[in-house]
Amino acid sequence: MKCCQPECGNEATVHLTEIVEGQMKKVDLCEECAKAKGVTDPQGFALADLLLGMGASSEIEAGGSDLACDSCGFTNADFKKSGRLGCPDCYTTFAEALEGMVKQMHKGTEHVGKAPKALQQARTTTRQLESLQVRLTQAVQEENYELAAKLRDEIKELQKESAA
Amino acid sequence: MDLKDFLSNAAEVAGRESKDDHVVLSSRVRLARNVKGRAFPGRAKKADRVETCGLIQPAVSSLSAMRGGYSESMANLKALQKQLLVERHHISREHAAKNAGSALVINKEQTVCVMINEEDHLRMQALMPGLQLKQAWRKIDKIDTSLEKKLEYAFDDRLGYLTACPTNLGTGIRVSAMLHMPGLVLQEQVNQIVQAVTKLGHAVRGLYGEGTEALGHIFQVSNQMTLGESEADIVERISKVLLQIIEHEENARQTLLQNKPDELFNHVGRACGILSNAHIVSSKEAMNQLSLMRLGVVMNLLPDIEKSMLDELFLVTLPAHLQQLAGEKLSGEERDVHRAVFLRERLRGTKGLQLSE
């Protein structure tokens, strides 16, 4: 079997198998490529690259080496090694590293679709406020003060409603 | 209740006919959810996992949709029972490896299964025969909606449902269908289909996942992206792709019959011959030959054999099912002999290939 790295025709001697979501993933590497990827030391192997796409581990590293989640103690190194996060709050802790990754692996960077009912009202209000704010700025720029005043009142009304 | 008594027998499962099941074997929609303020299962300590599981399991099993279902801790299931659940596609291989602190809940009709503390706190799926993605989505959507009244989910206004792996972020939805594509395999057109489907942002895998060969000519097509597109759009998009694949597969079968009839008859006829006469049959051989017989049945070449019987045999000749039937643990070699005996018995008296002149 040949090494799976591009432009490397050497015989593969290192074979890795990992079960991810019940799916078996296999990687075959030659001695040299294995060393280059740090695979000889299984602890140092970045599963993040396999799971989240090549380059993911360097994005995680760029976030800083001493980053740790306040809620669960998960570190940059843990993320790089496992390719997964420790708790919901990790999404805030590692937001910077995640931003580029999410853009690459998904269709968009903002959730569209279902939301828990309890949060739906708040979501709609936030969206409405955002859109009104955009229209307000535009109205001011166009010196359409009549419309601007109307929009400003609408925003105030909506804010009062959601606060109540 | 014992799992064995709860699960429908293989014949019942195989007997559930539905639309487009000549090509689409089953449709599945899975949602990943997590509870707010708790570490994901991979990070949580055992005591925390047990606590989270103790919170989620009763919430799930008390849903009206799960009434009369099966609810059990993974710690109380034996290895063989877990494997049986994997073979039925109720749980993932990963979940089968779990013990205390993880659980599963299956509804009475066995169309919904909720895995607790797999990679996420909740992995809930609706599994239905044939092409029924929209129905499966509606079913699991309802369960998710009633569950959110009992559990506070980890949800971010911008990122949506938060999951242990960023690949599931947003909707947390995985929509997949199991496809039987012997025509495209025999016509050597599978790679083209795989490439086209991958280009559209969907994943194609073999029966047991990436990197594994497509045993029994069965492929799994699923969405890759979960963020930035609504659930309904994801379901719609993949449904359209599936309809095209079905068309290609049906065309490949007809082309085979018209242009290379001898090759087709040879495959189907040999499959009948092997399975009716062999004394040692491996799991892989059984899958591949049963697949060719299934092709023969849906193309009306094996008039005295029912498709549902082949689907039943496909299930029953899997390792855990075979051992459950035998009532004892069997080694690999013993299984191959048992499998052959079983297949010979069930196929005895069938006429095999019947070509109308």
φ, ψ at A72 (rounded to 5°): -125, 0
pLDDT digits (tens, 9 = 90+) for B129-151: 999 999 999 999 999 999 999 99
In percent, the amount of chain B with pLDDT more than 70 equals 97
pLDDT digits (tens, 9 = 90+) for B178-230: 999 999 999 988 888 888 898 888 988 876 555 556 789 999 999 999 999 99
CA-based nearest residue in chain A for residue B35: A88
Provide the β-strand partners of residue B205: B220
Task: Report pLDDT for A43.
Answer: 45
- Cβ–Cβ gap B159/A111 under 8 Å: yes
Q: Average pLDDT, stretch B232-245?
A: 95
Q: Is A77 on the interface with B (CB under 8 A)?
A: no
Task: Report pLDDT for B15.
Answer: 76
CA-based nearest residue in chain A for residue B234: A113
Can you say whether the dihedral through the CA atoms of B306, B311, B315, B317 is positive or negative? positive
* Closest Cβ–Cβ partner in A52, A86, A110 for B158: A110
Q: Would you say residue B158 has pLDDT above 80?
A: yes
Q: Average pLDDT, stretch B30-59?
A: 95
Q: Is B164 on the interface with A (CB under 8 A)?
A: yes
Task: Report pLDDT for B161.
Answer: 96
Whole-angstrom distance, CA of residue B88 vs CA of residue B3: 12
Antiparallel, parallel or unpaired: β B218-223 and B202-206: antiparallel
pLDDT digits (tens, 9 = 90+) for B62-72: 999 999 999 99
ipTM comes to 0.85
Q: Average pLDDT, stretch B27-56?
A: 95
Antiparallel, parallel or unpaired: β A14-20 and A23-29: antiparallel
Q: Is A105 on the interface with B (CB under 8 A)?
A: yes
Q: Would you say residue A21 has pLDDT above 60?
A: no
Task: Report pLDDT for B32.
Answer: 97
Q: Is B141 on the interface with A (CB under 8 A)?
A: yes
Q: Would you say residue B90 has pLDDT above 70?
A: yes
- Cβ–Cβ gap A83/B165 under 8 Å: yes
Can you say whether the dihedral through the CA atoms of B3, B5, B8, B12 is positive or negative? positive
* Greatest mean pLDDT among A15-19, A27-31, A60-64, A138-142: A138-142
pTM of the model: 0.82
- pLDDT band at residue A63 using 50, 70 and 90 as cut-offs: low
Residues B174-213: b if buried by 16+ CB within 10 A, e if exposed = bbbbbbbbbbbbbbebbeebbeebeeebbbbbbbbbeeee
pLDDT digits (tens, 9 = 90+) for A66-95: 788 999 999 888 888 888 999 999 999 998
pLDDT digits (tens, 9 = 90+) for A83-134: 899 999 999 999 888 888 888 889 999 999 999 987 777 777 877 888 888 9
Give A-chain residues touching B156 at CB under 8 angstroms: 88, 91, 111
Taking a C-beta distance cutoff of 8 angstroms, is the pair B175, B223 a contact? yes
φ, ψ at B221 (rounded to 5°): -110, 130
Task: Report pLDDT for B49.
Answer: 95
φ, ψ at A63 (rounded to 5°): -70, -10
Task: Report pLDDT for A82.
Answer: 86
Average pLDDT value for chain B: 92
Give B-chain residues touching A118 at CB under 8 angstroms: 148
Residue A54 φ/ψ region, left for φ over 0, alpha for ψ in the -120 to 50 degree band, beta for the rest: beta
Average pLDDT value for chain A: 78
Q: Is A127 on the interface with B (CB under 8 A)?
A: no
Q: Would you say residue B76 has pLDDT above 60?
A: yes
pLDDT digits (tens, 9 = 90+) for B283-318: 999 999 999 999 999 999 999 999 999 999 999 999
* Closest Cβ–Cβ partner in A26, A91, A117 for B159: A91
CA dihedral angle for residue B178, residue B180, residue B186, residue B187, rounded to 10 degrees:
-70
Q: Would you say residue B60 has pLDDT above 70?
A: yes
- Cβ–Cβ gap B119/A21 under 8 Å: yes
Higher pLDDT, B291 or A33: B291
pLDDT digits (tens, 9 = 90+) for B219-232: 999 999 999 999 99
